Each structure stands twice: as structure tokens, then as C-alpha cells.
């Protein structure tokens, strides 16, 4: 009887003892734990991305408040790009991405991991996009505005892409943006297996339709060959711009700006210098693929609309010299 009573008293204690034992790790627990860690890392990565985006946004907001002081291109972050290691990942190959237009139909940002494989092989199509702030006019030496590609045509072949075009002054486009585009293009042509991370952001102040400038940065992957981070003001000597809508007033000082030297008759009969920074004025038509050194070239005789630009810009945009002028 005593033994029965003792067993009855010990049973709850034994049950309690079993209940407080450390449970053995179930099968597959390492997978569960690993999944949790990965999820945590992913969450942290997303948080870092958001912080980086916020930092970049803050920087761009600061750039929007800058006023032109006589130097069109200035360094940002001492010229050092702010790409992360993830931004420089090449495991998925070359790519390009363009941000959606904002509520005012303005371009927002263009990103790419450039490689020679993205460079255009087909003939360039004529531009027909009209970006915000487009109130063009003729000024001394040519037209005030260009349809400026965020990522230059020679790098990705993007042409009539609304998300990749803004209204930019002639000097913003060429020589300022083109000089950086040429640097990258030359590198990609000579290093076909290499990559360059590239980003261009148009900088608007508030609800203005004409960009105050562009923030450009690029970095070659695994080399130091390409590395820049700059802000280029959207200005034109001798012209006062109304950034609210893109209208403009030509200043009296514009009359004193030296014009591009006329092309000599000898030059007209020879192949031009292929330097992409050449400031020689050339002529193009909206639907054409050729540029002309001679405004009176017979190929232009039936053209109702003839635009002018620099030779460097024409080459960068994919135009080739007219066969009649070779």
C-alpha cells in the first residue's frame, strides 16, 4: 500500500521533470535557423538600400539649391562615386534601367551597368520626343537647346526614350556631358569584356520644368580607369533661362560671344577631324542620319528644317558625315 502511494506521489514529479528538459533540436532546424539569418540579412540589406537612397536624395536636393557661379561642371563628393558593392555586381551581365516619369512628366534617373554589348549597332533614328521645358530658339552659333540623353546614345543606343531625355542647353550637352560619355565609350571599345557602372540624375528645383543640371557618376568595375562624380549646371553663356518653364531671354552679352569659326572651303572638301570635342558647327535634319559641314550641301536642298549642333555632338549622337562632303 505504501509503495502504491509512493508511486502515485512520484508520477507528477517525473512528468514535471520530463517537461522541463531541454528539447532536442528537431530535424531540419539548421535550415530554419539559416532561413531566419538570411531573412535578417535581406532586411538589413533593404534597410541599407533605403538609407543610401535617402542619402542620395538628400544630396540631390542640395545640388538643386546650388546657383551657377561661373564654373559649369563641379565635383561631387571629391569626385568619388557612391556606388555600393552590390551596385557594382556583374553576375547578371550588362543592363540598363530608366526611372518612371514623375507627375510633371519629367525624367527622373537613368542607371546602367555598361558593357560594349549595349553599344548601338543600328543606324540612329531621328529624335521626336519633346521633353519638359522645351522652348527652343536660335541663338548665336546654333540652337539654345538639345534633347539631352541622360545616358548618351553612343553608350546604350537608347534614342526616343522619354525616360532618358531632358531639355538641356547646347553647352550642357556638348562639351560638358559628351566629354564624360566619350571617356566611357572609349574605355568600353578598348575593353570589351569590362563593365562601367553609370548613373545620371536630372536635378530639378521644386516643380520647375527645366532641369537645373545633371548629376553624373560612373565607375569601372575592378579597375580605376573610370571614376567620376560631377554636377553639371544647365546653363548657356549669354542666355538667361527661366527654369520654371524653359523660356529664355538672350542677353546683350550674347552678341559678344565669339562664334564658331567658319568652315573653310578646303575643310569642306576633306574628311573632318573625328575628335568628339570638336566645336565646329555642323548641320542635320530631323529625319536624317548624316551631318553636313556645308549648310548649302545639295543633300540639304529639299529639307525644310535644318538644325545645327557641334560636330562632336553629332558624332556622339550617331550621325556620320554626308557622302557628298567626303
DSSP of 271-318, one letter per residue?
Answer: PPP--TT---EEEE-TT-SEEBS-TT-GGGTT-S--EEEEHHHHHHTT
Residue 305: the pLDDT is: 73
Asked whether the predicted pLDDT for residue 274 surpasses 80, the reply is: no
Query: What is the β-pairing status of strands 196-203 and 110-114?
Result: antiparallel
The x, y and z cell numbers of residue 162, run together, are 522619354
Average pLDDT of the segment spanning 174-182: 96
**C-beta of residue 169 within 8 angstroms of C-beta of residue 236:** yes
Q: Where are the domains of the chain?
A: 55-249, 265-325
Residue 5: the pLDDT is: 52
- Choose which CATH entry (3.50.50.60, 3.40.570.10, 3.40.47.10, 3.40.50.10540) describes domain 55-249: 3.40.570.10
Percent of the chain scored above 70 by pLDDT? 72
Q: Which residue has the higher pLDDT, 95 or 38?
A: 95
Residues 6+ apart with CB under 8 A from 85: none
Q: Which residue has the higher pLDDT, 147 or 2?
A: 147
Percent of the chain scored above 90 by pLDDT? 55
Cα separations in angstroms, 133 against 15, 81, 305: 81, 29, 21
Amino acid at each position: 500500500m505504501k509503495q502504491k502511494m509512493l508511486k502515485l506521489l512520484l508520477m507528477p514529479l517525473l512528468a514535471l521533470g520530463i517537461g522541463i528538459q531541454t528539447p532536442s533540436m528537431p530535424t531540419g532546424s539548421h535550415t530554419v535557423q539559416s532561413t531566419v539569418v538570411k531573412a535578417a540579412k535581406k532586411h538589413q540589406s533593404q534597410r541599407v538600400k533605403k538609407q543610401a537612397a535617402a542619402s542620395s536624395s538628400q544630396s540631390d536636393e542640395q545640388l538643386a539649391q546650388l546657383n551657377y557661379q561661373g564654373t559649369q561642371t563641379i565635383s561631387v563628393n571629391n569626385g568619388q562615386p557612391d556606388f555600393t558593392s552590390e551596385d557594382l555586381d556583374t553576375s547578371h551581365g550588362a543592363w540598363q534601367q530608366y526611372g518612371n516619369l514623375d507627375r510633371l512628366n519629367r525624367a527622373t534617373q537613368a542607371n546602367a551597368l555598361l558593357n560594349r554589348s549595349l553599344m548601338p549597332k543600328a543606324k540612329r533614328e531621328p529624335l521626336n520626343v519633346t521633353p519638359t521645358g522645351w522652348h527652343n530658339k536660335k541663338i548665336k552659333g546654333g540652337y539654345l537647346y538639345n534633347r539631352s540623353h541622360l545616358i548618351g546614345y553612343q553608350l546604350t543606343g537608347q534614342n526616343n526614350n522619354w525616360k532618358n531625355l531632358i531639355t538641356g542647353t547646347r553647352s550642357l550637352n556638348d562639351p560638358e556631358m559628351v566629354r564624360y560619355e566619350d571617356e566611357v565609350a572609349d574605355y568600353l571599345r578598348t575593353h570589351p569584356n569590362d563593365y562601367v557602372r553609370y548613373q545620371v540624375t536630372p536635378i530639378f528645383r521644386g516643380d520647375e520644368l527645366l532641369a537645373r543640371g545633371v548629376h553624373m557618376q560612373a565607375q569601372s568595375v575592378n579597375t580605376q580607369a573610370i571614376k567620376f562624380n560631377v554636377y553639371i549646371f544647365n546653363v548657356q553663356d549669354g542666355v538667361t533661362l527661366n527654369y520654371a518653364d524653359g523660356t529664355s531671354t538672350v542677353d546683350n552679352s550674347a552678341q559678344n560671344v565669339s562664334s564658331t569659326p567658319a568652315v573653310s572651303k578646303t575643310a569642306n572638301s576633306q574628311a573632318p577631324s573625328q575628335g568628339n570635342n570638336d566645336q565646329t558647327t555642323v548641320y542635320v535634319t530631323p529625319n536624317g542620319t548624316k551631318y553636313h559641314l556645308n549648310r548649302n550641301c545639295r543633300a540639304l536642298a529639299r529639307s525644310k528644317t535644318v538644325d545645327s549642333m557641334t560636330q562632336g555632338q553629332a558624332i556622339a549622337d550617331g550621325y556620320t558625315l554626308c557622302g557628298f562632303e567626303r
